[in-house]
Chains A and B, each alone.
Chain A
Amino acid sequence: MIARRNLGLVGKHLALIVLLVVMLFPVYVMLKTSVTSFDALFGWPPSWWPPHWSLHNYVEVLVGGYRFGQAFLNSAIIAVSTAALSIVFGFLAAYGLSRFHFRGRQALLFVALATQMFSPVVMIVSLYQIMRGYHLLNTHLAVILAESALAIPIALWLLHGYLESIPVDLEEAAMIDGCSRLGSLRHVVLPLAAPGIAMAGIYTFIFAWNALIFPLVFLNQDQMYPIPLAMSRFVGQNVVYWNLLMAGGILATVPVALLFSFIQGVFVRGITAGALKG
């Protein structure tokens, strides 16, 4: 019995290792290429280990005249603003939807969900015309507004689920004790919902950090480009600097990975558990 169980465990590890080797193959190529010099890129067969590895590509990406720092900043402006707008608007609406029962509530929730199914492509034609009409083309604001229109419903949906899981008893207790609804919202709901807000904020941040199509259409000045567009700077007339592309790609991934590891922790800590005990 024990032997059979061990055999199962070995099989499980084997299967997982095979799966991960396949899944991480491109990640390995990315890491390897990012520490390989340009001259060593184009050889046949491709090497499995960089001949002399160095961090030179990272330095080159950051200070080599590719203005990657600027692109990083542009991405951060777009992603932080989108996350902030999504949290404020999403939280207010989620609160209204979870604490009041009124006609049309289900319909609103459906609409919020349905927007998650839109492709930005569906709206890109008219949004381009609208932004052009308001002279917002080539501004970050245009990208932020368009991204937010898709991110707010996601935040709303996540926060609605989170608020539903916070018992109303606490707020009612506060209101019986003489707190106004806005007071209980500030002093009771907001602190309890903080992990949910962090989750929604990070989710929408990542969403906007990844944005491609709105920046592609709205921005045409190089210094406004966020990372996904700025990556094209590493592609020359007849040559692709794969070493720089991979180093830049890894730098672009780091913030997302850090933020993600943070929400993983939030997921694990069940926060309201115990709030009503005792």
Chain B
Amino acid sequence: MSPPIGTEPLARDRTGTMRTRLRRVFDPDASPTVYLIPTLLFLILFLAYPIAKVVAESLYRDVLIRPDLGRSFIGLRNYLDLLRDPAVLRSLRITVLWTLLSVAGKTLVGFAAALLLQHPFRGRRIYLTLLMIPWVTPVVVAAIAWRWVLDGQFGQLNGLLSALGIIHEPLSWLGQQGTAFLATATVDMWVGIPFMAMVLMAGLQSVPNELYEAARIDGAGAGQMFRLITVPVIRPILLVATLLSSVWTFNSFQVIWPLTRGGPAGATTTLVVRTFTTAFGSFDFGRAAALATFVFALLMALSYGYWRLLQQEA
């Protein structure tokens, strides 16, 4: 007989034999085991094991195109090499700046859009639908479209800016270090703004309308209402959204790779791009694994902070 309502164990089962106890663990009525096991197995096999393997690999010298060197245990040598490599340090700096710039842009524009679309008005649905277009465009497609927009000779951006008299000859946006850095970050913003706007709008809509009405009756101005009602409500959501967005931006590969492949001269080589090119450009798997482990540790630290934040706000 199965227990009527689920989870509370029946007293007689506690003193059961090994076999009945085992049966209870796998009883779909009384225990979560059967629901969790398949997923856990899958994730252990294809998520936990690969990560453990990356960490282990990072302790080896393993260069695919130098079979003469063989695969040998070298302890933390890969990490020490990374720390001494100015290119890696440059990548770290580029990643941090690129992430900060892109997340700041996404947050500012996304928040502005959310504020504009917060209250119902005629035409709001049309704006919302149009704003979602960048979000539904596959990222690689978006990056390729932008590459054409930013084309150094015939790009529409060059056409627009010269028609406005801002530039006099076409600029090679993706061909120069500074503009390539800005352009890739801008494309990343473009991809991420709709999502940010949507999340923040959901947050803003959780403010009961009565609160605004009461404040209005009490004679509060728009600025006061924003400061005293909107900001306190949106603060935790804003915090979580920017943190999550930072992690995703930090990880962004799909934007940079089709646009610049990390160039020119490494100006857009973020840590994930460098990890990729170390593994599948120079085929130095040991070093790439060390880089990946470093990125993983950084992201775990960020996720832990994110989790604590969620717990605190809940």
Contacts and interface: CB of A to CB of B under 8 A. Distances in A.
Interface stretch (B47-55, B81-89, B207-215): B47-55
Interface stretch (A59-67, A90-98, A190-198, A269-277): A90-98
Interface string B157-198: 011001100000010000000000000000000100100000
Q: Which of B46, B51, B113 has the most CB of A within 10 A?
A: B46
A73 interface: no
A119 B251 contact: yes
Nearest to B304: A114
A245 B144 contact: yes
B229 interface: no
B237 interface: no
A126 B253 contact: no
A121 B295 contact: yes
A20 B299 contact: no
Q: Which of A9, A12, A101 has the most CB of B within 10 A?
A: A12
B102 interface: no
B299 A152 contact: no
Chain B, interface SS category: helix
B94 to A, nearest CB: 15
Chain A, interface SS category: helix
- Interface size class on chain A is 35 or more
Interface string B223-261: 000000000000000000000100100110110011000
A67 B63 CA distance: 36
Interface string A215-244: 001000000000110010000000000100
A19 B113 contact: yes
Interface in A112-142: 113-130
Q: Which of B5, B42, B47 has the most CB of A within 10 A?
A: B47
Given A9-B121, A121-B272, A253-B137, A130 B53 contact: yes
Interface in B85-132: 109, 112-113, 116-117, 121, 123, 127, 130-132
A41 interface: yes
B154 A124 contact: no
Contacts of B54: 122-123, 125-126
Given A148-B42, A152-B43, A182-B28, A16 B116 contact: yes
